[in-house]
Structure 1
């Protein structure tokens, strides 16, 4: 692996420039100092032409393979539909290109291990888009949590509660161009669920992986490890609950998609004599960080609010990807680490069919 310490801009290639590709990824790299979007690959010709013209990107290709063969880029950012992520990522990693993909990295543990191994064999930096780890409020809360655990100020950690009921993403379609063109149906794809899962649960598993791996990944980040999956109480038409065991304390995760105007997602960490709370913003709500509060005694009359900066987790993720490449360091959301999210998710869902 060659360190990237040059003062020259890091050249980024984008694979997939649909709605999320544009507003959550491409726009951030276009505005960032120290990098240059040198090429895009997009299978939809009208979208490809519109994005190239709108953003003034030097080169545009119909497939990621054409980009790999013909463009001079240092790294790739791939934002495709979930079942296409694996084949695209594998092609990029096998030729040694540094890579960031959207989450989840894969649908199955076997797929995830294959991708992580390809990155390691080629010496490529591989990051997965768990942007909540980059939220300034989340990082502030992580620092507080580490201090509280080390000092014992609030006693032992007794329970962690995570929840995600979704809501409104706060997006603005007018900020993306060229949308509406149908995708080709003959693209390379990997299965979206393990082969041991009953067919009637595959769509549910796919939806869980799309949204809830964010919270599984965040849990593992906050508590520095992967718990044991104890039980999943999954209810198709109601709220669901997953139970995890960290040995010293349990963690519960409540999830469902409810129709309401606000975004409802967060973490509560209970101690013997206090509680740390993280309320997460809607993913596409710019310049708003997670809200962090700390209750320092059991009576609740000593609550402190911590102010994080006005930044956006997607922007911070993009900046970190470029900085990590330049400094030749691993991402805090590396592909190897993200394998554990897939392992934990599979263990959780295996309980439904065992």
Structure 2
């Protein structure tokens, strides 16, 4: 009786093992492209008469149909989900590409291929596995650099007075909305930001820019009045750091910055020389403030070519350029307070 039962079970499992079937096909485009630091979602269809283990993996090889053989130089990006039994089940797998994965362009004589297979513990022999290769070749995947770049378009070096602002030009391209960072840093090597030689940082602006191609725009850095001047630095200088980054590329190695040949543009911070003791007051018949109309009245446009207006902290808050036939300059947008208007060596102190 026991012998008969054993024979029955052996026969049953043998039939089940022989009848167990699974297959998988790759349904996405071939080849595909993905950016280092981002993800790629791939489509596939499978049929399995039992629960099966799946393996999805990128591997580097010089032969498109050999995975794990002598030509497989290295492997990376592996996912090992378990799939339930089913017929013609359409599924997807997402492969997260590390930001530091070597780019396809950096591979020598090799390329990346996408390996997908089904297997079962009931078929422990690898020859029973089902893979999604077509005619012995696995799908090709190309890993590219992050899709954004930035260039610095202003003069180098540039100068700014403490307490004033500097507007810098730059151009960027991005296939997604990206975060930017603009920062002044102090270092004795123009190409080292945040390293051992970077003694201090300040003036950080971090706007987000919208996707676009060859977008020319500007960034304004407000220099605090108490910012150390360049002349007070010992053995170091100030440099301007500008970069683009994306949350989809969290590794700093995938950031794009505007350095040229590894060096950042230099900026000189000069001492604010706003003290009115060094200037002569304007004659009232040439320039005065009309409190009723909250405007500056300019009566001599031959002498007064431009005007800068500063608050009591020494920060420039208003600039009037190319004065020609202007007689009234509306200052109603300025907060109430004490201001100084300056043009060349002359000044006007007024209360808004």
TM, length-normalised to structure 1: 0.20
Report the structure, 1 or 2, having the larger strand content: 2
Kindly indicate whether structure 1 or structure 2 has the higher relative contact order, using CA contacts under 8 Å at least 6 residues apart.
1
Report the structure, 1 or 2, having the larger helix content: 1
Higher alpha-carbon Rg: 2
